Amino acid sequence: MSLIVPAKTKRVYLSKRPIEGIEKDTFVSETTYVKQPGPDEVVVRVDIVSLDPAMRGWIRDVRSYTPPVKIGETMRAGALGTVLTNGKTLKKGDIVQGYLGWTEYSTIKEKFLEKVVAPPGANPVDFLGPLGMIGMTAYFGILYVGKIKPGQTVVVSGAAGATGSLVCQIAKIKGAKVIGIAGAEDKCRWLVEDLGIDKAYNYNEQGWHSRFKREVGYLDVFFDNVGGSILDFMLTRLNLNARIVLCGTISEYNSSKPRGLQNYQTLTAMRASIQGFIVFDFTNDYPKAVADMAQWIQEGKLKRKYHIESGLENCPRYLQMLFRGENRGKL
Amino acid sequence: MSLIVPAKTKRVYLSKRPIEGIEKDTFVSETTYVKQPGPDEVVVRVDIVSLDPAMRGWIRDVRSYTPPVKIGETMRAGALGTVLTNGKTLKKGDIVQGYLGWTEYSTIKEKFLEKVVAPPGANPVDFLGPLGMIGMTAYFGILYVGKIKPGQTVVVSGAAGATGSLVCQIAKIKGAKVIGIAGAEDKCRWLVEDLGIDKAYNYNEQGWHSRFKREVGYLDVFFDNVGGSILDFMLTRLNLNARIVLCGTISEYNSSKPRGLQNYQTLTAMRASIQGFIVFDFTNDYPKAVADMAQWIQEGKLKRKYHIESGLENCPRYLQMLFRGENRGKL
């Protein structure tokens, strides 16, 4: 592809906040002029955008760790891109990551970008996976918040998802017994056969609760990407001092009236905790985490699976796919 | 009162596990013979029994930190008593505390008893309050689990209760801004006027949510004795890194179908946590806690209020009173 700055770019902006699921009129796509870069800016061609569960939170108008996307604003998204203009530190042709958003071309301050150089065995796209926010979330969530120890039983929901599949593998590397929960038979097979976790349950299958009770019993750490009824069930499965790492509650993101947790009383009985966290709390330790992840990639211990679709204007549809669990691998 | 061992004693035992609230046939009272003490036992006259929310859990047949009371077993209860026989370490006339249960006289192993000597300014009954389990729960809950810092906003539910009122006062001593939640106007007045906390809300009053939002806004630590809808509301009031200390969920104890928590998603957004705990996790630090509490009592900084009723056979009725919030002070 050429490294020429075009006159125009397509972008997809937030047009209306959804009440429940994402609707036809939530996002609108338009063609607009590419803004000339200021003295501390560069123009970047967006090559791959990452679609993540957190995006549902960004378009909700509530207090959170990050301000909501405004109406009319280009939809925020982590992305990989190629620099098209020379800046002060970046130069034409550099591959960068940052919140480039749902746009073909972005004019953005250099300080919001990070130049990426794939370590041995890795690919630039891994910076949207194990070497990026997803990977940091998995790493700090299971190791720093979950504090897993060898031999402990770890349960991961959304186990076949981008974060979950990394959590499963990190927990295995650290010697835990790993149980995955996913929403389809082929996802469960992938977890056990390809990723080598100990057991996987399909939550869409009748009777999985009783099989889980019989076969697994109780857990020490629950890494939850899903929330809702799976979290409520796991609250009945806590060992003493169990820790629930609340990473996401994707099952509730599209709901205006979330299902309540009934079984939280066990937290007192078992001296257990639910801990919400976000990866930005651990920025000081990113270099160590990236080094560990890069090493595991090089050693072939971290498998990744990407699900790549094309067409910027289709991003809203792909995002819906994510919430329906239709993707296979990091989207 | 004489220190003679009588032939018979009244006792109240668990006859049937309740489904929801305590029923007429949950407990039965009977007269039985006082058991002769073995070589490592003493006979104790039970002077005051403590009625606590945790008792509802003890008669439920579920996994918990302590085994459930069996059908036919004398109801478990913390109590103060007077030793009537000479043992190896205890002697006739000693005042002791322990789980003596709902009985007039108890024949019990010496090792399950602790001799109490009230420090200056205190009364033996304080060993059922600030110097006993209740006090330890308040102390470790707010200081070790809640980790309050001066100037932080602390909200306490069940604030006029035995534990809650101590939590409020410890938090004030430590320089926090303290907001109490209670279920009656006179309780709220007592909290503000007598205990000197900053503000109190009556959750039975219309519109307290919106007044709380306007006047308090957000909180750093929520010490929860109640659970249910108050906990669910406070989940919407979390500052960044807020901590919820889940001490009890009295609002749900008598319910077979607890009301669910809807707003737990904020735990992720605000990197907050809910931590269940029990006081037995901190036994190593009991001496320090008792010394602090005794000093605060002596300095007049810890006010206590006891609600004392009489008649062992009426204990079940008094326990119901506790769950309806009809007591005024530690029951």
Q: Strands B114-115 and B105-109: what pairing?
A: unpaired
How much of chain B, in percent, has pLDDT values that exceed 70? Answer: 97
Dist CA B140 CA B70 (whole Å): 30
Q: How far is A326 from chain B (nearest CA, A)?
A: 23
What angle, rounded to 10 degrees, do the helices at B286-298 and B133-140 form?
100
Pairwise CB contact (< 8 Å): B276 & A259: no
The answer to whether residues B140 and B119 belong to one domain is no
User: What pLDDT digit, counting tens, does each position of B263-283 carry?
Assistant: 988 898 888 999 998 888 898
ipTM: 0.74
The answer to whether residues B38 and B99 belong to one domain is yes
| Burial zone of B243 (CB within 10 Å; 0-12 exposed, 13-18 middle, 19+ buried) | buried
Q: How large is the average pLDDT for residues A133-154?
A: 95
Q: Look at residue A33 and tell me if it is in a domain.
A: yes
What is the total count of domains within chain B? 2
B79 pLDDT exceeds 70? Answer: yes
Residue of B105, B95, B91, B92 lying closest to B34 (CA atoms): B105
Enter the tokens of residue B68: 């459930």
A139 pLDDT exceeds 70? Answer: yes
The answer to whether residues A151 and A272 belong to one domain is yes
CB B52 within 8 A of CB B111: no
The answer to whether residues B118 and B154 belong to one domain is no
Q: Name the closest residue on chain B to residue A232, using Cα atoms.
A: B260
Pairwise CB contact (< 8 Å): A266 & B276: yes
The answer to whether residues B255 and B186 belong to one domain is yes
User: What pLDDT digit, counting tens, does each position of A239-268 carry?
Assistant: 999 999 998 776 666 565 666 888 988 898
Interface residue of A62, A232, A264 to substitute, partner B, most B CBs within 10 Å: A264
Torsion of CA A233, A238, A242, A244, to 10 degrees: 0
Q: Name the closest residue on chain A to residue B255, using Cα atoms.
A: A262
Band of residue B254 on the pLDDT scale cut at 50, 70, 90: low
Q: Look at residue B1 and tell me if it is in a domain.
A: no
Dist CA A253 CA B310 (whole Å): 53
Enter the tokens of residue A101: 């958003």
How much of chain A, in percent, has pLDDT values that exceed 90? Answer: 68
The answer to whether residues B92 and B167 belong to one domain is no
The predicted structure's pLDDT at residue B279: 82
B61–chain A Cβ distance below 8 A for any pair: no
Dist CA A221 CA A157 (whole Å): 11
B256 pLDDT exceeds 80? Answer: no
Dist CA B170 CA B290 (whole Å): 13
The predicted structure's pLDDT at residue A250: 67
CATH assignment of the domain containing A52: 3.90.180.10
The predicted structure's pLDDT at residue A258: 64
Q: Look at residue B296 and tell me if it is in a domain.
A: no
CB B17 within 8 A of CB B311: no
Residue of A296, A304, A1 lying closest to A128 (CA atoms): A304
A70 pLDDT exceeds 70? Answer: yes
Q: Look at residue A291 and tell me if it is in a domain.
A: no
The answer to whether residues A147 and A168 belong to one domain is yes
Residue of B27, B19, B23, B20 lying closest to B73 (CA atoms): B27
More confident site: A64 or B292? B292
List residues bridging with A306 in a β-sheet: A330
Q: Which positions 241-260 of B are in contact with A (Cβ < 8 Å)?
A: 246-249, 252, 257-260
Q: What pTM, to 2 d.p., does this model score?
A: 0.82
The answer to whether residues A111 and A170 belong to one domain is no
CATH assignment of the domain containing A243: 3.40.50.720
How much of chain B, in percent, has pLDDT values that exceed 90? Answer: 68
Q: Look at residue B224 and tell me if it is in a domain.
A: yes
Q: Look at residue A285 and tell me if it is in a domain.
A: no
Q: How large is the average pLDDT for residues B320-330?
A: 86
What mean pLDDT, rounded, does chain B reach? 91
Q: Name the closest residue on chain B to residue A243, using Cα atoms.
A: B275
B69 pLDDT exceeds 70? Answer: yes
Enter the tokens of residue A36: 């000339």
B228–chain A Cβ distance below 8 A for any pair: no
Q: How many CB pairs under 8 A join A and B?
A: 102
The answer to whether residues A147 and A226 belong to one domain is yes
The answer to whether residues A68 and A147 belong to one domain is no
The answer to whether residues B144 and B90 belong to one domain is no
The predicted structure's pLDDT at residue B2: 75
Q: Look at residue A177 and tell me if it is in a domain.
A: yes
The predicted structure's pLDDT at residue B251: 67
The answer to whether residues B201 and B221 belong to one domain is yes
The predicted structure's pLDDT at residue B327: 86
Q: How many angstroms separate the Cα of A99 from the Cα of each of A126, A164, A220, A257, B85?
A: 15, 22, 35, 30, 77
Instruction: Show the domain range for B218.
Output: 133-280
A166 pLDDT exceeds 80? Answer: yes
